[in-house]
Amino acid sequence: MATPLKDRNRAEFKRYKEDVEREGKSFYPYAILHDSVMSLVVVGVIIGLACVWYFTADKTDAGILGPWYTDEADPGTVNFVPRPDWFFYFLFYLLRIFKWPNTVVLGTVGIPTLLLVLLVLLPFYDRRPERRITRRPVALVAALLVVLSMGVLTWKGATAKEALGSELIASGTVDKWAQEQGFQNDPVAVAGSKLFAESGCLNCHTYLGSGAGNLGAPDLSAIGATGRDVAFFKSYVSNPAQYGNNVMISYGYLGDENLTKIATFLQASKGGG
């Protein structure tokens, strides 16, 4: 008959205590000493990095670890793309893999929460006495896959590029839109294309290969082929909520003239070619 789990655990604990009494060291002061030394090392590294940052930089020079401070934030900017701290880059990149609104909750809440619960419950469902990593292939492979996936997602999130309107205009990309869509002779549509790029629309939408494609926002390259007129697009952009779109913000603050330009641009966007 197999030894009950409780008896096996008691035997393991007894052997552990005998090993400690025979050749081990007590928690105090040995383990406390090791923890204290390591804590001092961590604090010393933090203080050292702070000193390097402070003494190698000034108000204008970035130094080794960056400047003391940069320009004040502009609350009126439309070109700033918010990004999380580096330790959330993996979650930031998951937003590009899982699309809004159907699967984004699964990717950003469901999977991380499930992995965290499995980690918390690990001592309860993994009761094997063996702790040598070479004899635990499943645990070893799982740990390596988690570390690898976190590393790859963090790197992808750190290097992900967003299309800024000013950069698209400076590079001539917006001018190419007019040529490809055929509205280069319509000054209102051309002005609307530049406003479209500058107003942050590409932070969510995509247009002829540019943009982020976040929050389930559609590609607008052929939105004009739907048959809607300028008045409809102007009304939609000024107040998307009236059409049941509670994700997109209102651009009514741009004013009637600018809304007309953007609406003309959208109506002229029929897919290119």
pLDDT digits (tens, 9 = 90+) for 207-263: 887 777 666 778 888 888 888 888 999 999 998 989 888 888 888 888 889 999 999
pLDDT for residue 8: 82
175, 176, 178, 179 alpha-carbon torsion, rounded to 10°: 130
pLDDT value at 58 more than 60: yes
Distance (Å, rounded) from C-alpha 204 to C-alpha 11?
A: 61
pLDDT for residue 272: 63
Q: What is the pTM of this model?
A: 0.52
Distance (Å, rounded) from C-alpha 160 to C-alpha 212?
A: 10
Task: Name the least confident of 77-81, 125-129, 249-253, 259-263.
Answer: 77-81
For residue 269, give Cα distances in angstroms to 11, 193, 226. 76, 10, 10
Distance (Å, rounded) from C-alpha 239 to C-alpha 224?
A: 18
- Give percent above pLDDT 70 in the chain: 87
DSSP helix/strand/coil, 229:
coil
